[in-house]
Amino acid sequence: MDHAVTDAFGFHALQLGLPEMDGLRANRMPHRWVASDSLLRPDGLPPLPPLDPGLTVQMGHEPVALHCEFDALPFPNASIDLVVLPHALELARDPHHTLREVERVLVPEGRVVITGFNPASLWGLRQRAGHLRRGIGLGREQPLYLPSGGEFLGYWRLRDWLRLLGFEVEAGRFGCWRPPLHSEGWLQRFAWMDRVGDRWWPVLGSVYFVVAVKRVRGMRLVGLVRNDKRKAPAAPAVVANRSAAVARVSHSHEPSELEI
């Protein structure tokens, strides 16, 4: 995340969702906001105060926090240069409409950075198994491995949405190939899977990372535009009175001795 946002140029940056993570800390834009659509934590804990310092980004000496709906952002068209979505589409009320709002507020050539959980991974399989166990009445009290709210959005489905909205995917990669385990010791034992997974099964990573650029098609003039045109050749003169022209020719003719 830091590497993707550090060189993003502009004046206004926005992060939607997951306020516990400062996704704009490496960005150098003068105006940055962190927006949340709810005061409830994604893990189901009690709500946090509206101006909790842990939810805000320090801008100068004043903390700034914005609470709004992700599918109705309070920004005019083409006013934001960078939007960061750390797992925001998965917890959004309408992920497709949220992405349309992001496209609306982004300036041409603006960037969007998206992270999400991959449903085609070990973490996604465990999450679906947990929902299945709850559906049939087993494991109701057992918490899920990942937040229960929202629905996982597939990587290729997200790319199709971005393409339909006029975005060009600039970078995309996967990470986290370790199995979903709570024990830190067992996670360290499976650390070799992160090194091998990037090479042998890259699209099965539990988390994906996408960077896309908003493209606006238009006409571009390359070089100087020349307004001068070649002059057309002059048209031949047309004689209106043929008899007068013949008379002038006859008067200018001098008679010879033979004619006398």
Sequential pLDDT tens for the chain (260 residues): 999 999 888 999 999 988 888 899 899 999 998 988 764 444 444 444 443 344 333 433 334 468 888 988 999 999 999 999 999 998 888 899 999 999 999 999 999 999 999 998 888 888 888 777 776 666 566 677 777 766 788 999 999 999 999 999 999 999 999 988 888 888 888 888 888 888 888 888 999 999 999 998 875 656 655 555 555 666 665 555 555 555 554 555 555 554 44
Q: Which domains does the chain have, with CATH numbers?
A: 2-214 (3.40.50.150)
Surface-to-core class of residue 68, CB atoms within 10 Å of its CB (0-12 exposed, 13-18 middle, 19+ buried): middle
Cα–Cα nearest to 197, from 95, 247, 135, 123: 123
Beta pairing, strands 80-86 & 106-117: parallel
pTM: 0.71
Write the DSSP symbol of residue 204: G
CA 199, CA 196: separation in Å to the nearest integer?
Answer: 6
Q: What is the largest CA-CA distance in the chain?
A: 139
- Angle between helices 95-105 and 155-164 in degrees, nearest 10: 40
